[in-house]
């Protein structure tokens, strides 16, 4: 038996999610014997903050994973495809934030509040779902367990941080240039994002949906373990830095009143209800940024159908939508005895 707590590699540690991973490991006092940040050659040698120190970022190479127990990846699909199998070969459990493995039937796709039991059959890699899917399934799970969901119609209002640090910089630069009467350049997005809404996230597919929309459809079914849930999505990028918002319409088999739905969600782990229309209180991205929970409000019955509900679901896409969920997966692996701590 190991005499040391797990050594943790953070791959993509200079990115928006990677930096947050380091923060979350620190904030949750994750039992790591050592945390080592990796990036591409571009950022190797730079420093990232961790605990009271700074860690020097190391260039990721094929033999980087020797001696590590857990590898947290957030460096894009290509990096995951190439390096995650090497990490597994070196003895690591990989928790991967990219799209590379999510729909592979051999790889569990996990939100710890929803399907922790799927961790038990992981073959070395565990996939972290898409940010907009994570907050959605946390809100859907208690409703599905109680009243069986038939159909979901979701529209998202997604923050630019979901596209990484470059996109955060692009919104910032565009806003400041527009205020100074200058022309703007769009590199990350196909159109200007400042003061605009783009009904396109990721590329268009043959069915005219975007890849992000189909991720929500397919990942929801996989995480909830129920292919019968019908879901249709419109995903929209909005000029918000942190926090995805979602308008969610749910049709259930059994009747669920708005009051019962509110109580059900309030008692589910990881959900905070903010639903006081009389005071004008509801979840907003600016309040949810930096928070761990999924926030739900505007819960009301949809009286155009027999068993319908509407709600507004907000979460910090970098935390619950990415870094926090990843580290919660690692914590759940420890709880289930799948990773040892001393």
Q: Given 92, 131, 261, 288, which residue is catalytic? A: 131
- The count of residues interacting with ligand A2P (CB under 6 A) is 18
Q: How far apart are alpha carbons 93 and 210 in whole angstroms?
A: 31
Written as six digits, the tokens of 166 are 């470059």
The verdict on 33 binding ligand A2P (CB under 6 A) reads no
Q: Which of 79, 158, 174, 252 binds ligand A2P (CB under 6 A)?
A: 79
**Residue carrying the six token digits 């701590």:** 341
Contact of 114 with 138, CB cutoff 8 Å: yes
Does 28 show up as a binding residue in the annotation? no
Cite the beta strand spans of the chain per DSSP E.
Answer: 7-11, 34-39, 47-50, 53-56, 58-59, 70-73, 93-96, 125-127, 149-158, 230-237, 244-252, 271-273, 294-301, 308-315
Minimal distance, residue 88 CB to ligand A2P, in Å:
17
Based on CB atoms, which residue is closest to ligand A2P, 13 or 143? 13
Q: How far apart are alpha carbons 84 and 32 in whole angstroms?
A: 20
The verdict on 166 binding ligand A2P (CB under 6 A) reads yes
122 in catalytic set: no
The verdict on 64 binding ligand A2P (CB under 6 A) reads no
Smallest Cα–Cα separation from 213: which of 257, 141, 153, 293? 153
The verdict on 210 binding ligand A2P (CB under 6 A) reads no
Based on CB atoms, which residue is closest to ligand A2P, 107 or 167? 167
Mark residues 94-123: x for contact with ligand A2P by CB under 6 A, - for none: ------------------------------
Helix (H) or strand (E) holding 136: helix 131-147
Q: How far apart are alpha carbons 131 and 320 in whole angstroms?
A: 8
Interacting stretch for ligand A2P, rule CB under 6 A, among 6-14, 196-204, 310-318, 320-328?
Answer: 6-14
- In this structure, the number of other CB atoms found within 10 A of the CB of residue 299 comes to 25
Interacting stretch for ligand A2P, rule CB under 6 A, among 10-18, 93-101, 269-277, 306-314?
Answer: 10-18
The verdict on 194 binding ligand A2P (CB under 6 A) reads no
Does 280 show up as a binding residue in the annotation? no
Smallest Cα–Cα separation from 270: which of 92, 147, 136, 79? 136
Footprint on this chain of ligand A2P (rule: CB under 6 A): 11-16, 18, 39-40, 42-43, 60, 75-76, 79, 164-166
**Residues with catalytic annotation?**
131, 244
């Amino acid at each position: 038996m190991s005499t040391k707590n797990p050594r943790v590699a953070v791959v993509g540690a200079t990115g928006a999610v990677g930096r947050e991973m380091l923060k979350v490991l620190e904030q949750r006092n994750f039992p790591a014997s050592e945390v080592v940040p990796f990036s591409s050659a571009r950022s190797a040698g730079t420093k990232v903050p961790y605990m009271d120190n700074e860690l020097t970022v190391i260039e990721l190479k094929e033999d980087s994973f020797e001696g590590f127990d857990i590898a947290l990846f957030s460096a894009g699909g290509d990096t995951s495809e190439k390096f995650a199998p090497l990490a597994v070969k070196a003895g690591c459990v990989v928790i991967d934030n990219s799209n590379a493995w999510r729909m592979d039937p051999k790889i569990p796709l996990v939100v710890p509040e929803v399907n922790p039991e799927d961790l038990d059959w992981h073959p070395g890699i565990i996939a972290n779902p898409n940010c907009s899917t994570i907050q959605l399934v946390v809100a859907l799970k208690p409703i599905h367990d109680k009243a069986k969901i038939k159909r979901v119609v979701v529209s998202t209002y997604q923050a630019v941080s979901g596209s990484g640090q470059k996109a955060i910089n692009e919104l910032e630069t565009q806003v400041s240039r527009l205020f100074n009467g200058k022309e703007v350049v769009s590199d990350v997005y196909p159109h200007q994002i400042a003061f605009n809404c783009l009904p396109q996230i990721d590329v268009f597919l043959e069915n005219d949906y975007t890849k992000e929309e189909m991720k929500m459809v397919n990942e929801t079914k996989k995480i909830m373990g129920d292919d019968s849930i019908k879901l249709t999505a419109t995903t929209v990028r909005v000029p918000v830095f942190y926090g995805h918002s979602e308008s969610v319409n749910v049709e259930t088999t059994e009747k669920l009143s708005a009051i019962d739905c509110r109580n059900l969600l309030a008692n589910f782990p990881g959900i905070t209800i903010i639903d006081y229309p009389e005071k004008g209180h509801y979840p907003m991205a600016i309040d949810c940024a930096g928070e761990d929970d999924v926030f739900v409000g505007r819960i009301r019955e949809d009286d155009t159908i027999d068993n319908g509900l509407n709600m507004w679901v907000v979460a910090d896409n970098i935390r619950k939508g990415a870094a926090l969920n990843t580290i919660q997966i690692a914590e759940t692996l420890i709880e289930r005895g799948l990773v040892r701590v001393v």
